[in-house]
Structure 1
């Protein structure tokens, strides 16, 4: 579905379902150098089980127009504008990696509009090494390779892989390459810089009152579970679910991630 947000055409995957004001809404927010497709299984399930789904490509990513936004705060404001464009007064926000910071900041800025938060592969501060920041600007193929190696728990597909010969690392690498080809203006560097610079995590987390779920990857080396303690400690009522996966948990353990989201969303919906 296409919406107009801040004068630009925005693509959101909706599962092919029209917006129904009588249903709850869930928004799936992707991470750096990704698009809506990383949520393929989870977004489709919700779309076919009584939820309005918005899985947008952020500005400058995938099929959405406009330039990539340079701060988490600007992305959070953009998400709230997307809710306006879609006609959703309130939504559950599910964000992965950079998307988790966007969801957190959006809930901080407009708490009445966020019914729940699901933060996956999250941490704060979400610092990026100087080496990776430099590579994301000046040696993009190397940066893509590094992130893909670090995001997956191993070189082989997990038992839930869709078919023999399927490579989640290969699929992730090709997605990042395609996004770089389609949106070449330092997209990866812009995303990484936004994560690295975001400074409002502690204040945002301390003020969260809505139901909150943390989904952490036991083998995640990009955002290790121990690094999320500042967030999980700040949100006293938050629930933590750990899945046997690396940072790319939606690909490595899609069913476990979906199960965690379904159980959490059922409580939010009631």
Structure 2
């Protein structure tokens, strides 16, 4: 059986270049998740993903997402479940934000609009990466964040703040799913990732040693190996 195409959806606050380290072997389709002038709702990005599949004549794809990208994958699953052949959910969660988390997102959105993104790397990098990040990885994280449009960073924060709980959607999905998480992920820790894998009817769990919240950037070889091995086992 031929494998389904793999669509990878990036984390916040990055763009599709975060997948550069896994492109050679995974051969993914990637997009830059952009809100533009639309209302801040991840359904808008989900619609973009479905439109991309339509343009390419793809009936069903394996959707992979890291952090915010995972939320987008869940939005696609809610919107068009028949287009999803499998899921790769990395460093993400099923639940909606708490009131505190939502308030923090909205505060960051307002500050980015007022001040730009220059302050963002120093504010978020330590929380995104493992305890001893490689200098090249840290530099790449800073570079990608500083390249983002402040309006899009603000849009993404507001869209994530508004997202619903996806637990029921994931529990109803019959497709194979791989849940990956960094050993040192402080934002969506391994215990939460194990719960996510347990929600999924056909979920597998992989913990990536040494990594934090950005497993594809921090440990691209381990991420690639896990995804390829899982795809071979489940046949998607």
Unmatched 5+ residue regions in structure 2?
A: none
Q: How does 1:1-270 map to 2 (within 5 A)?
A: 24-47=4-27, 53-59=28-34, 66-67=36-37, 70-125=40-95, 127=97, 128=101, 130-131=103-104, 133-139=106-112, 140-157=117-134, 166-179=135-148, 183-185=149-151, 187-228=152-193, 230-244=195-209, 245-269=211-235
Q: Which of the pair is proportionally richer in helix? A: 2
Q: Alignment RMSD, CA only?
A: 2.2
State the number of aligned residues.
227
Provide the TM-score with structure 1 as the length reference.
0.76
Q: TM-score, normalised by structure 2?
A: 0.86
SS at match of 2:8: strand
User: Contact (CA 8 Å) 1:28, 1:43: kept in 2 or not?
Assistant: no
Query: Structure 1: how far apart are the matches of 2:37 and 2:226?
Result: 33
Q: Which runs of 5+ in 1 are unaligned?
A: 1-21, 48-52, 61-65, 158-165
C-alpha distance in structure 2 between counterparts of 1:197 and 1:254, whole Å: 30
Instruction: Please state how far the C-alpha of 1:39 moved relative to its aligned partner.
Output: 0.9
Moved over 4 A (4+): 66-69
